[in-house]
Amino acid sequence: MMQGSCLCGAVTFEAQEPLRPVIACHCTQCRKFSGHFWAATSVPMNRFHLTRSDALRWFRSSDTAERGFCGICSASLFWKPTGEDLMSIAAGSLDGPTGLGIAENWFLDDAGDYYTTPQAAETLHGSCLCGANHFTLPQPMGEVGACHCRQCRKLSGHFSASFDAEVADLHWISRDTVEYKTQGGAIRGSCPTCGSNLYFRDNDGFSIEAGVIDNPTGGHLVSHIFTADKGDYYPLDDGLPQYPVRD
């Protein structure tokens, strides 16, 4: 029996093996929801059981599916297709070794330019999945760092990718955010309606989740940190520097 949870523990679940190989989805919806791109396994509903669901929230992202997230920490957890006896589970939410691997990549045409082919940009436009949050930033994305720590994997459902920005430069056209304080004292901001992860703030500064920015971004992925905590279901083979812990 595989077990998993959100970051704060308000949503926990069990899934009886075998689980489907992981599919990585690069569609705009998944990138907005998770903050980078999403990776999920799945299991029939008769082998899935919620053991705690106090804070579980659902957002209908299309006519064909809804997305489940934690209403406290905003961890991206589930994708459930309408009319199908199936639950897709974020691979990053699973506890311990999974024994899984990424079998397919979907919607690569919608992938972020910061991890595929960088495009020039001057002003960034970002938004959450439901559109309640919309902002602009007068700069290109620049350097993007990927983080594989347990917190980022639990919250994003895969691993995170973010870039530094100045709070004073951020112009909110519309805003409806909630914030969650992690055990380490960092603040993570998200949308309470759709669960989209938006930003991160700690003593080192302020950063924005790269997946919420619409192309073109003018960004490029430069490194991976906390790779000692990475998930076992994906390789890191892009040739970028890897750091087991953060410098």
CATH number of residue 66's parent domain: 2.170.150.70
Whole-Å CA distances, 31 to 7, 110, 128, 169: 19, 9, 10, 23
pLDDT tens, residue by residue, 161-176: 999 999 999 999 999 9
Question: Which residues, 6+ apart, have CB-to-CB distance to 243 below 8 Å?
Answer: 223, 224, 225, 226, 227
Mean pLDDT in the chain?
A: 96
pLDDT band at 44 (very low <50, low <70, confident <90, very high): very high
Please, what sign has the CA dihedral across residues 72, 76, 80, 85? negative
Q: Are 72 and 129 in the same domain?
A: no
User: pTM above 0.85?
Assistant: yes
Residue 225 has pLDDT above 90, yes or no: yes
Q: Are 120 and 230 in the same domain?
A: yes
Q: Are 99 and 50 in the same domain?
A: yes
Domain range holding 52? 2-106
Number of folded domains that form the chain:
2
Percentage of the chain surpassing pLDDT 90?
A: 96
Residue 221 corresponds to which amino acid?
L
CA distance 27 to 50: 27
Q: Are 67 and 140 in the same domain?
A: no
Residue 100 has pLDDT above 70, yes or no: yes
Q: Are 118 and 210 in the same domain?
A: yes
pLDDT at 118: 94
CA distance 134 to 162: 17
Q: Are 92 and 166 in the same domain?
A: no
For 6-78, where are the alpha helices, taking DSSP H only? 28-34
Q: Are 176 and 61 in the same domain?
A: no
Q: What dihedral angle (degrees, nearest 10) is formed by the CA atoms of 148, 149, 154, 159?
A: -10
Q: Are 56 and 153 in the same domain?
A: no
